Structure 1
Amino acid sequence: MNFQWKGVMPAVTTKFTADDQLDMDLFAVNINAQLEAGVHGIILGGTLGEASTLTSKEKECLLRETIDICNQKVPVIINIAEQSTAGAIESAKKAESLGASGLMMLPPMRYKATSRETMVYFKAVAQSTSLPIMVYNNPVDYQIEVTLDMFEELLKLDNIQAVKESTRDISNITRIKNRFGDRLKILSGVDTLALESMVMGAEGWVAGLVCAFPAETVAIYELVQQGRIAEAIEIYRWFLPLLELDINPQLVQNIKMAEKATGIGSEFVRAPRLPLEGKERQRVENIIKKGLETRPDLSKFKLKTAAL
């Protein structure tokens, strides 16, 4: 599928049953809720997807099911996060053979690669597939930054096309635009900076809390695209306490609690993750409860996306 790197692309969670099996029925409920809200793509196998705990067979099952549910309506992108170059190439080839629309790629995992090693890694994978690639640039969490000089070299490969911008530096969006124009598409990767990023020129939003609140997330994007910034800010101010659940070491548990509260997910996580308890659980529950009680009426914005 040919597509553009733009719009709201949920980094979806993986649904599990109480006995730690894939819950494909509940997974389908959530994917359909995303599609009904008007998202522009689905991203599998990120941190929220608990990909590091999934087997290859489970990843294949999730990819096949998502492609089937989406039925060409939106692109299905899978994350590549591997320890070795050979492993990343194998994953990329497998994803392409199964029908993925594109790849999101992290730098090498568990090894703090040098700039040269990181570029060689990205290039080797890009040259092994025809799929379009979005580089995930998150030096805060992964300790490897893909600099503009590195992108200058990487963009010699046509299928490296986008960046999930998670440096937490809003001005970096302007630096990218000044240097590369539209050659490198930018999707914000930090929920709490998404509106600001899109106002500064990011083409889209790889979102987390969208997993629980798809319509509100899409509404913010659509309002920004229409230049209705004040209205987007109105929703965003309501959303921010919930969005802050994404910038937390327990983001998976937090977002799954929110998904359960909105009826499109469950709290089941895979060990070593455990459900929240005690004061932290109460804190998150209170944020979600208040968010639901004050949830904005999106109908007043008169947007045309499916769920609005």
Structure 2
Amino acid sequence: MKSDWLTGYIADLPTPFDEDGEIDLDAFARLCERQIASGAAAIVVGETTGEAPTLTTGEKAGLIRHAVEIAHGRVRVIAGAGSNSTDRAIELTRQAEAAGAEAVLSVVPYYNKPMQSGIQAHFRAVAEATALPVILHDVPSRTLREISDATLACLTESEQFIALRDSSGDVGRLVRIRTSLPPHFRLLSGDDLTALPFMAAGGHGCISTVANLVPELCQAVYASLKEGRLQSARYLFSRLVPIAGLLAAEHPAALKYSLALLGLMRPDTRLPIVPLNDASKAELTKAIAELGEEFPERDASSLNHHPAPVPA
């Protein structure tokens, strides 16, 4: 179960919808191609940003297959396959494997609030049901349960668990656990606002929302850090923080609206996510314009053109 490809900024892709509420595969292809062109190591399909709870089983399978076809070996495809039902998580994991995904991202069961022994049993059952490597997703703000240090240590005894997407925003946790984990295991931030300190403290990358918007700029942050140009990395990252904060506040509606401003997709979401209010739209429009003016050489084809009007 090799994991050295899990590095840098990896976009958690949104799921575009057309005017009839169906998945817009043409827009999805554009989003995939942007990430491939930026040099991303992988893309995540059908997870948090992709509004996974509102996708049908057939839609998820079709989205993964389409991503695999578009990638055509140029980038790895990670499929969101989590659920608060272990049987459902196993079904989604097997479906992702059949569709050609190269890894699954599996979240801590939400709402149920399982004990740590239940979390261990859940993830082990998922791993036993597939030959794919499993990336664990720990996002306590959504699940109300976290993967404890002891649980993580037990799970990583199996090489099938290749990484943790840590969306807690707690960089101190990474410092605490990093040296106790096996060498193959990768640590990925799931929080754009703390991604740089996370990576500087020994993290291997970030599964990101903002990378959808400015993929080349995000990759420049990571490259600067790995090349030891810390001042450059800090500066570039500081310019990402305002827009990352706005995206996090109304996720994923804010990202979809931002990508619609760039002419890449419609802003439509599925209930219970609703469109942004006018004040949020104005904030995003201003932040994107300022980012495009400051970095005309990066992501210029998107940030510095005049897109068509965004559908209401």
TM-score normalised according to structure 1 size: 0.92
CA deviation after TM superposition for structure 1 residue 131, in Å? 0.7
How far off is 1:2 after superposition? Answer: 5.5
Does residue 1:22 correspond to 2:20, yes or no?
Answer: no
Residue 121 of structure 1 corresponds to 122
SS in 2 for 1:76: strand
Aligned to 1:73: 74
Question: Could you tell me which residue of structure 2 aligns to residue 198 of structure 1?
Answer: 199
| Runs (5+) with no aligned partner, structure 2 | 300-312
Counterpart amino acid of residue 160 in structure 1: F
Q: Who is 1:302 aligned against?
A: none
Report 1:1-308 matches (<5 A): 3-4=3-4, 5-248=6-249, 250-295=250-295, 297-298=297-298
How far the C-alpha of 1:181 sits from its partner, in A, is 5.0
How far apart are 1:132 and its partner, in Å?
A: 0.7
The answer as to whether partners of 1:137 and 1:163 remain within 8 angstroms in 2 is yes
What's the offset of the Cα at 1:254? Answer: 0.8
The Cα RMSD (Å) is 1.7
Offset, 1:246: 3.4
| AA in 1 matched with 2:168 | T
* SS of the residue 2:88 aligns to: helix
Q: Which amino acid aligns with 1:236?
A: F
Deviations 1:73-131 (A, max 9, x none): 12101112213111111111111122110011101132111111111101111111111
Tell me, in whole angstroms, the C-alpha distance in 2 between the residues paired with 1:219 and 1:265: 24
Describe the SS at the equivalent of 2:104.
Answer: strand
Contact 1:238–1:295 (CA under 8 A) maintained in structure 2: no
Separation in 2 of the partners of 1:255 and 1:199? 26
Question: TM-score scaled to structure 2, two decimals?
Answer: 0.91
Letter in 2 for 1:177: R
Structure 2 counterpart of 1:218, one-letter code: Q
Partner of 2:307: none
CA distance in 2 between counterparts of 1:121 and 1:79 reads 16
- Amino acid in structure 1 at the alignment position of 2:267: E
Alpha-carbon separation, structure 2, partners of 1:96 and 1:60: 10
The answer as to whether partners of 1:174 and 1:201 remain within 8 angstroms in 2 is yes
Shift of 1:3: 5.0
CA 1:142–1:83: 2 relative to 1, 3 Å = closer
Identity of aligned residues (%): 27
Deviation at 1:271, TM superposition (A): 2.1
For the residues of structure 2 that align with 1:297 and 1:240, how far apart are their CA atoms? 19
SS in 2 for 1:254: helix
What SS is found at the alignment partner of 1:247?
A: helix
Q: Could you say which residue in structure 1 is the equivalent of 2:306?
A: none
How far did 1:276 drift? Answer: 0.8
Give the distance between the partners of 2:284 and 2:163, measured in 1 at CA: 33
Question: 1 CA distance for matches of 2:190 and 2:63?
Answer: 22
**C-alpha contact (below 8 Å) 1:66/1:76 kept by paired residues:** yes
Q: Which runs of 4+ in 1 moved over 6 A?
A: none
In structure 1, what is the Cα distance between the partners aligned to 2:67 and 2:273? 24
1:285 partner amino acid: T
Change (3 A) 1:33 1:71: same
Q: Map Cα deviations across residues 111-154 of structure 1 (whole Å, 9 max, x no partner).
A: 11111111110111111111111111111222111011001111
Q: Cα gap change, 1:181/1:2 in structure 2, threshold over 3 Å: closer, same or farther?
A: closer
Deviation, 1:30, is 1.1
Query: For structure 1, which runs of at least 5 residues remain unmatched after alignment?
Result: 300-308
